[in-house]
Structure 1
């Protein structure tokens, strides 16, 4: 089933069931397990709806406890941990039929101070100079069908451009670095909470495939499996996910079948967010 940007935005606008309790669903896209970026984005929306408008999201951390099932509704229970003048802290528990799927925490802050130091983005080709993901897969349909995954869902929602599509796919020991341009295919408005949630949604897909590169497995390798264990993000500046942003990724280390992925997200030449993720990395003979 194709998912449109409009449907994604509707998916992220959760229904309030009672005070600080929200309900949401998932797209049925041919993959039974819920995409981790969806849980991140929906959790941000749930927690953000319980704070004052002047408080803006600046950090979010979460743990993926059990795989989520796209066929079952999600229940988001938010706890107000702190309600200060300048900072608010929220916890969220996400469950399906009383089975815990995800736990997370977010911090929100009012605007204060004028000091700003945001590093510039690395020198990379502009998105107009690079091949799109859709164009690449137009000639590689067998790969996409053989290993159907959340990649196809992301392709429907985001335009992504990179010079590394072939190295990303093919097996072979490589340095754990990756980078791509990304933007939502349709406008999403200027709600800061929704924009942060969409950015979190996009941030989940490629960190673990980058971390797996030194092991010699490509993103479409049927012998390699990965699963997110946790995810953290820090939001440094406002973002518009429907405009080009650059995602610069590395895999700093791996140990005990776990890999660490680190990402820096840039827009308009400056750092707007940082992402970190640890994931489980296994191959069939392990």
Structure 2
């Protein structure tokens, strides 16, 4: 899925001109799966969706399905996922959970998302009972505070012709630290990074799993900007076609997804029509809260 389609999907249903909290509540409802049988859940897509299901949505919903078969005292610490087929937003997605292992400290789950009788997405997630241990972490880059930066709507107003679609209310508030890639087209550089502040645009319930799933949802929104920025091209504005291929997340420390976190991403490699992107999430106080790696299909004509 292209990032333009991702941004459209991330807007959910704004047909009534809804604001941040109402649109965020729609995302919470989207992640509230229906249990239809033991280990089987069903999710839907927003009424207003692009041609394919947003990757962050199916990843977040699959993690919800896994988490609902695990005791609440065990916290998710990692997930590894593959995007297998494009999802159809017109029909529900069925999530089948396989209870791989329940150990003394760790629990492992595998989830397959199914549509039209075929797997479209597969996720493995590991949960752990919290325990003490060694502690160290990277330091957060020195960046401006999110409140001092332009809103996403203000940034896209500089893009003629397509800004109106991008102005739709979205459940995730995004503030670019660096110039967004649609403004740096034609200026590829080996030093290109992508840094954005993010937070859920409103208040979330006090449920740990929900905050992890919202961050999982947000992690797919700007990650592939990094390999494109290195080559000075961008979705829709250049002849670029792409899709998420696989996605991995490690959760290091507790956090709230409705408080500001910095998403610092880079691309160490691109080859064979694929681009690799890595990212780090930092809470506003500098705490490293999560790490992500994704490979995406990137075809530039």
TM-score, normalising length: structure 1: 0.92
Residue in 2 that maps onto 1:252:
268
Residue in 1 that maps onto 2:148:
129
Alignment of 1:70-149 (within 5 A): 70-140=89-159, 142-144=161-163
The alpha-carbon deviation at position 30 of structure 1 amounts to 4.3
- What SS does the aligned partner of 1:240 have? coil
Q: Which string of whole-angstrom CA distances, capped at 9 and with x for unpartnered residues, describes residues 88-127 of structure 1?
A: 0000110112121100100000011143222221111111
Whole-Å separation in 2 of the counterparts to 1:49 and 1:169:
42
Residue in 2 that maps onto 1:214:
230
Q: 2:73 aligns with which of 32, 54, 65?
A: 54
The 8 Å contact of residues 194 and 225 in structure 2, kept in 1 or not, is answered as: no
Residue in 1 that maps onto 2:170:
156
The alpha-carbon deviation at position 72 of structure 1 amounts to 1.0
The 8 Å contact of residues 207 and 251 in structure 1, kept in 2 or not, is answered as: no
* 1:39 maps onto 2:39 in alignment: no
Residue in 2 that maps onto 1:27:
46
Residue in 2 that maps onto 1:188:
204
Q: Which string of whole-angstrom CA distances, capped at 9 and with x for unpartnered residues, describes residues 129-160 of structure 1?
A: 21111222245362235xx6xx667x511111
Whole-Å separation in 2 of the counterparts to 1:214 and 1:160:
21
The alpha-carbon deviation at position 248 of structure 1 amounts to 0.2
The 8 Å contact of residues 34 and 69 in structure 1, kept in 2 or not, is answered as: yes
Whole-Å separation in 1 of the counterparts to 2:192 and 2:71:
40
User: Aligned pairs, how many?
Assistant: 279
Residue in 1 that maps onto 2:185:
171
Structure 1 stretches of 5 or more lacking a match?
A: none
Whole-Å separation in 2 of the counterparts to 1:9 and 1:228:
23
Distance of aligned partners of 1:219 and 1:163 in 2 relative to their CA distance in 1, 3 Å threshold: farther
- What SS does the aligned partner of 1:279 have? strand
* 1:278 maps onto 2:295 in alignment: yes
The 8 Å contact of residues 176 and 212 in structure 1, kept in 2 or not, is answered as: no
Q: Which string of whole-angstrom CA distances, capped at 9 and with x for unpartnered residues, describes residues 10-49 of structure 1?
A: 1101011100000000013241111100011001100000
The alpha-carbon deviation at position 168 of structure 1 amounts to 4.0
- What SS does the aligned partner of 2:249 have? strand
Whole-Å separation in 2 of the counterparts to 1:101 and 1:258:
20
Distance of aligned partners of 1:22 and 1:169 in 2 relative to their CA distance in 1, 3 Å threshold: farther
Residue in 2 that maps onto 1:266:
282
Whole-Å separation in 2 of the counterparts to 1:91 and 1:162:
34
Whole-Å separation in 2 of the counterparts to 1:110 and 1:24:
28
What CA RMSD, in Å, does the superposition of the two structures yield over aligned residues?
Answer: 1.7
The alpha-carbon deviation at position 242 of structure 1 amounts to 0.6
- What SS does the aligned partner of 1:264 have? strand
The 8 Å contact of residues 60 and 232 in structure 1, kept in 2 or not, is answered as: yes
Distance of aligned partners of 1:167 and 1:91 in 2 relative to their CA distance in 1, 3 Å threshold: closer
